[in-house]
Amino acid sequence: MIKVEKLSKKFGNNEVLHDISTEIAKGEVVSIIGPSGSGKSTFLRCMNMLETPTSGKILIENKDLTDSKTPIHKVRQQIGMVFQHFHLFPHLTVLENLTYAPMKAKGIKKPVAEEKARQLLKKVGLSEKEKAYPGSLSGGQKQRVAIARALAMEPELMLFDEPTSALDPEMVKEVLDVMKDLAKSGMTMVVVTHEMGFAREVADRILFLDHGVLLEEGQPAEFFTQPKTVRAKEFLDKIL
Ligand code: ADP
Ligand code: MG
């Protein structure tokens, strides 16, 4: 479904991603881990062209995002993104947060968008919050709304950038549980995370980034018990 070919990204002279190639299959859950500053967010942002690669290609369902003829806004509609800091619309209710983009970008009629939104709120356990404003919600609730909002666009692919890093510890599980359900439902997911439990249990594959280089790629059971590189071993020793 996704093919990354020799992707590089520079900010000025600073090469943040170096020659990354990988493929992600439909329904696969891939976790990206690595030290702070290793290029994880930049890699994720390249996948929906929030950042423009300096060189290399990214193909999503055979559409080359780096080709200027590809309609990026159309491709982006198929890609949901969830950030560390939620990015909800503060002046809209929870329900309106979910219906806004489907109505605006896809021309879905309000009653249809609302019905879909209510289904999704039920799925993330927040049916009773549809009239609430984001400001009145806990961090865990906000993040569940953000996930539901991304799903309201019926994406083919979901990108998560440290979705639980800004949460109080007691709220991490409710968000990870929603992500686990989503993974089980067959969604293709790329998840940057420091939650090694999640990566180990839910991911089909781990990508380990270090200084912008894809140093290791493998199944969680293998990566966590027998990392191939010294850098990965050092990283795991620090956090596990
Ligand atoms: P990670 O998510 O793994 O912590 P990032 O992708 O955020 O890493 O950042 C990788 C490197 O790229 C860092 O050195 C960071 O300072 C740099 N960087 C990220 N975004 C920008 C930007 N918009 N302009 C300049 N440098 C950036
Ligand atoms: Mg980051």
157: left (phi over 0), alpha (psi -120 to 50) or beta: beta
* pTM (2 d.p.): 0.96
Radius of gyration in angstroms for the set of CA atoms belonging to the chain, rounded to a whole number: 18
Which of 41, 42, 83, 215 is the best mutation target for the ligand 1 pocket, counting ligand atoms within 8 Å of the beta carbon and taking the most? Answer: 42
Please report which ligand is nearest the Cα atom of 162.
Answer: 2
**Whole-angstrom distance, CA of residue 16 vs CA of residue 159:** 19
DSSP letters, 129-151, are GTT--GGGS-HHHHHHHHHHHHH
d(CA 100, CA 80): 14
Task: Give this complex's ipTM.
Answer: 0.98
- The pLDDT of residue 220: 97
Residues of the chain with pLDDT below 70 are none
